[in-house]
């Protein structure tokens, strides 16, 4: 039940918040350099790094995306007729939450440490 509710909430949340941010971003671009700078200043420091609000929205939308993907896959598995046993159903529900947290951590670790990747890979 919780996973089904999370699927709906994350889908609606991403649509509303994501659409509002996209419209604001496009309006700021169309408004010119000052308008875009004002938009950017809400989410970043002067150096260009994300501030607390930037991280909150970015990580929140990322968790929502991974949760929505995970629950969507789980619902698809249920639609094909698998995973209805109580133990398997609970495991699938738990895996969607592990997936969303783990995927978000890996994604943001990659984003925040991308400049180190050439050093690690030797390229």
d(CA 112, CA 104): 12
- Residue ranges making up the domain that contains 12: 2-112
pTM score of the predicted model = 0.85
Both tokens assigned to 39 = 């938009």
- Residue 122 maps to a domain: no
Tell me the residue length of the chain: 123
d(CA 109, CA 103): 10
pLDDT digits (tens, 9 = 90+) for 29-81: 999 999 999 999 999 998 888 899 999 999 999 999 999 999 999 999 999 99
d(CA 26, CA 118): 33
- Which CATH number belongs to the domain containing residue 102 in this structure? 1.20.1300.10
- Residue 63 maps to a domain: yes
């Amino acid at each position: 039940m919780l996973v089904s509710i999370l699927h709906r909430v994350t889908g609606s949340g991403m649509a509303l918040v994501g659409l509002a941010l996209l419209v604001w971003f496009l309006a700021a671009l169309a408004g010119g350099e000052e308008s875009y700078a004002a938009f950017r200043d809400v989410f970043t420091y002067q150096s260009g790094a994300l501030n607390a609000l930037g991280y909150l929205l970015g990580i929140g939308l990322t968790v929502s995306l991974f949760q929505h993907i995970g629950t969507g896959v789980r619902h698809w598995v249920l639609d094909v007729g698998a995973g209805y046993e109580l133990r398997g159903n609970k495991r699938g529900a738990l895996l969607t939450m592990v997936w969303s947290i783990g995927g978000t951590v890996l994604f943001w670790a990659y984003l925040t440490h991308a400049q180190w990747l050439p050093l690690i890979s030797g390229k």
